[in-house]
């Protein structure tokens, strides 16, 4: 596994260390949306600097925020190894959504870690709490508005993952993940559990129907594609763009809903039931203010001539509500956002298993300083040459880390950028500046971590649910 992952030429696989950074190609191949169609309120440094570069259906969440409606945020952590700077980017995003009013759920992927990394559940729990959640608390997640749970103890997650297994098959797993006949079945189950992670916060037990956004590195997108696929396939009502003006609603008759939607075992339609369902849909659409509706139970469709593409998500949510009233799961496809990966200290990929590539959140200040001093630089080999040609901040790790992690001031950063490019700042000077910022950041983080350590338990309020 790990060599072919669905996409023809860009290699992205949630378990391998290969990583493409051709983000435009990724957007195109995975069908992500870039950020140009979204107005982000109170953008964080990750937004302002283009580090968050793509999304799926983020407008649902922004709309919920603008309309003061609920939305949730879900992320997961793999309890293996130590938390490093790269991991903190997702938490920055989660924090940002939390400040916008999102309720936060965090999955500890202890089952996945056991299945794919051989880490026992007990060990996974310990790593999650001491390595990750303690750092999340220090990074500023609010324990009152954050719920951490373990995959192994939340039966609703496992149940949902199992049930939705019906909506996919081995061919799809082969094409998304490159799985083959000899793939271990625990590896097949892990993504289904993650589907359960991502979808369960919208069940009635865990907060009800609302948009849920999943901020991730792009390596996790295969899981999102799977999740969105199975959620959509489970839906009882479809919305399509009409050939004429407006939107078209159709039914998706499945084993589970056939009798409710009026299809009898002999294949004939129960007229009364069909009419009842259609009247139900019409009533729901009226609640949204549509009066001109063309309901055609015989053909199995309802046309809304006045609706446009931008109305789709409101209508979808209404129909999912109705589906739930009729006894269906009514699952809304998750939204997601994607961030660029910060480069590793060596200029390659950042990875927990290669300490030289990254800064761990518990590195002491001396180690931190040494690591940055040795980091890959975008400077020239001699001072003369550097003054003459200038350096390249785009590949300079010290500059990059200031941009990603340590420097808040955009103007100052822009100055560093141009002064590096025109040769006024030398590579060694850039490193020194980064060391100073990083040292401040790290000392501050350590101090806060001590102060917030006692909060870890309060993140687990609904642990056993
Ligand atoms: N698979 C993720 C990882 O390798 C962990 C994870 C589990 C996750 N469930 C999730 C991430 C849900 C995002 C959303 O890190």
Vertex 381, ends 376 and 385: CA angle to 5°?
A: 130
Residue 221 Cβ inside 6 Å of ligand 1? The answer reads: no
pLDDT tens digits, one per residue of 223-266: 999 999 999 999 999 999 888 889 999 999 999 999 999 999 99
The percent of residues in the chain predicted with pLDDT above 90, rounded, is 88
In angstroms, rounded to a whole number, what is the distance separating the alpha carbons of residues 131 and 95? 18
The pairing of beta strand 72-77 with beta strand 212-217: parallel
Centre of ligand 1 to C-alpha 200, Å, is 14
Q: What is the pLDDT of residue 16?
A: 53
Residue 332 Cβ inside 6 Å of ligand 1? The answer reads: no
Centre of ligand 1 to C-alpha 78, Å, is 6
- Cβ-based neighbours of 77, under 8 Å, separated by 6 or more: 87, 106, 107, 108, 109, 128, 132
The answer to pTM > 0.85 is yes
Q: What is the pLDDT of residue 15?
A: 57
Cβ count within 10 A of residue 35: 18
Q: What is the pLDDT of residue 194?
A: 98
Please choose, from the candidates 351, 349, 355, 342, the residue with its C-alpha nearest in 3D space to the C-alpha of residue 434.
Answer: 342
pLDDT tens digits, one per residue of 19-71: 556 888 999 999 999 999 899 999 999 999 999 999 999 999 999 999 999 99
Closest ligand 1 atom to Cα of 15: 4
- CA 165 to centroid of chain Cα atoms: 21
């Amino acid at each position: 596994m790990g060599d072919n992952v669905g996409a023809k030429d860009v290699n992205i696989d949630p378990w391998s260390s290969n990583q493409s950074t051709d983000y435009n190609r990724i957007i195109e191949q995975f069908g992500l949306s870039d950020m140009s169609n979204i107005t982000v309120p109170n953008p964080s440094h990750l937004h302002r600097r283009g580090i968050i570069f793509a999304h799926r259906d983020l407008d649902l969440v922004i709309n919920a925020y603008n309309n003061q409606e609920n939305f949730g945020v879900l992320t997961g952590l793999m309890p293996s190894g130590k938390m490093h700077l790269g991991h903190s980017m997702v938490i920055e995003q989660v924090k940002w959504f939390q400040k916008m009013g999102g309720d936060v759920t965090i999955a500890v992927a202890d089952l996945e870690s056991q299945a794919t990394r051989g880490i026992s559940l007990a060990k996974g729990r310990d790593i999650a709490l001491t390595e990750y959640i303690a750092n999340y608390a220090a990074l500023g997640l609010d324990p009152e508005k954050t719920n951490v749970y373990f995959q192994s103890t939340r039966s609703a997650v496992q149940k949902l993952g199992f049930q939705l297994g019906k909506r996919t098959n081995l061919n799809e797993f082969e094409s998304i993940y490159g799985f083959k006949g000899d793939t271990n079945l625990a590896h097949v189950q892990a993504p289904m559990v993650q589907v359960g992670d991502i979808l369960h916060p919208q069940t009635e037990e865990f907060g009800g129907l609302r948009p849920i956004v999943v901020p991730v590195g792009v390596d996790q997108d295969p899981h999102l594609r799977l999740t969105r696929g199975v959620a959509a396939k489970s839906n009882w009502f479809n919305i399509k763009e009409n050939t004429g003006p407006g939107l078209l609603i159709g039914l998706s008759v499945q084993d589970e809903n056939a009798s409710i939607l009026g299809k009898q075992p002999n294949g004939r339609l129960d007229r009364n039931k069909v009419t009842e369902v259609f009247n139900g849909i019409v009533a729901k659409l009226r609640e949204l203010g549509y009066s001109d509706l063309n309901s055609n139970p015989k053909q199995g469709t309802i046309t809304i001539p006045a609706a446009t593409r931008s109305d789709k998500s409101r209508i979808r949510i209404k129909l999912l509500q109705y589906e739930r009233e009729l006894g269906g799961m009514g699952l809304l496809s998750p939204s997601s956002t994607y961030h660029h990966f910060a480069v590793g200290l060596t200029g390659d990929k950042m990875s927990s298993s290669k300490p030289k590539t990254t800064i761990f959140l518990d590195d002491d200040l001396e180690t931190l300083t040494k690591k940055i001093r040795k980091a890959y630089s975008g400077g020239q080999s001699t001072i003369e040459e550097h003054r003459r040609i200038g350096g390249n901040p785009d590949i300079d790790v010290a500059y990059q880390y200031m941009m990603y992690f340590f420097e808040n001031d955009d103007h100052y950063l822009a100055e560093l950028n141009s002064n590096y490019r025109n040769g006024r700042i030398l590579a060694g000077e850039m490193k020194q500046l980064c060391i100073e910022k990083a040292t401040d950041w790290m000392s501050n983080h350590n101090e806060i971590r001590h102060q917030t350590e006692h909060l870890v338990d309060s993140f687990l309020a609904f642990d056993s649910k």
